[in-house]
Amino acid sequence: MGTRRAENAEQTRRAILEAARRLFTEQGYFATKVGDIAAEARVSVAWVHAAGGGKSGLLRALIENGVDTDDNTEAVAHLATITDPAALVGFLITATRQRFEVWSGLMRQVAAAAPQDDGVRQIQEIAHEGLRGALRVTADRLAEMGALRDGVDARHATDLLWLHLSNTAYFLRTDELGWTLDESEKWLHQAVPAALFTP
């Protein structure tokens, strides 16, 4: 009986998180009310507070869950096994493009809300640090392989990867410049090696 109750509680929590993600993405963080999430998930407002502690708690849970997925863990582990510098950078570019496709809707709203809310800004930093961790692994591997151009160490390489592969960089290309993700990825496969490797 206890197991079934725990399973039902977890299913309800997942439904609340999915409802929060849909509404945050479609309406924006500030425009979404706890009552909206409750109605979307077909639960009481009390359940929403119990599941995540309100909007901020739900947003944090969504971002933390997104950072700590098995796919992300496997991708970072795979980065450490690639022995060809070009293949390593190519894998990272493709991986960031795929994750941007999945998370861009929510992260766009997080970026819009962060300047106005310290809590959201802290949650945004969780997402940023998750990506920077993967970029550091990549930069360290490239440094170990002696692939970086003169004057570029692992720290600088991490920064260069961030300039090209962060959500902000993707938003610039897709939202402001109007590039498709295919155009963006094609450019990245040229621009990132040019920034990191000796010509």
Number of domains in the chain: 2
Per the domain annotation, does 64 fall within a domain? Answer: no
Mean pLDDT check: name the lowest of 6-10, 76-80, 149-153, 174-178.
6-10
Tell whether 34 and 79 lie within a shared domain: no
- What is the rounded average pLDDT of the residues 84-100? 96
Q: Does residue 63 lie in a domain region?
A: no
Q: Is the confidence at residue 15, as pLDDT, over 90?
A: yes
pTM of the model: 0.88
CA–CA gap between residue 120 and residue 97 (Å, rounded): 23
Is the Cβ–Cβ distance between 109 and 28 less than 8 Å? yes
Query: What is the overall mean pLDDT for the chain?
Result: 93
Report yes or no: 137 and 130 within 8 Å, Cβ to Cβ: no
Residue 4 has pLDDT above 70, yes or no: no
Range scoring the smallest mean pLDDT among 50-64, 122-136, 145-159, 182-196: 50-64
* pLDDT 10s digits, 100-124: 999 999 999 999 999 999 999 999 9
CB within 8 Å of 40: residues ≥ 6 apart: 19, 22, 23
Q: Looking at the structure, do residues 45 and 116 belong to the same domain, yes or no?
A: no
Q: Quick one: pLDDT at residue 110?
A: 96
Give residue 32's domain range.
2-55
pLDDT tops 60 at residue 161: yes
Are 160 and 152 in contact by the 8 Å Cβ rule? The answer is: yes
pLDDT digit string (tens) for 55-72? Answer: 999 999 999 998 888 787
Co-location of 179 and 117 in the same domain: yes
Is the pLDDT at 194 greater than 90, yes or no? yes
The four Cα atoms 57, 58, 60, 62 give a dihedral, to 10 degrees, of 160
Does some domain include residue 192? yes
Does one domain contain both 42 and 81?
Answer: no
Q: What is the pLDDT of residue 79?
A: 86
Instruction: Indicate whether 89 and 187 sit together in one domain.
Output: yes
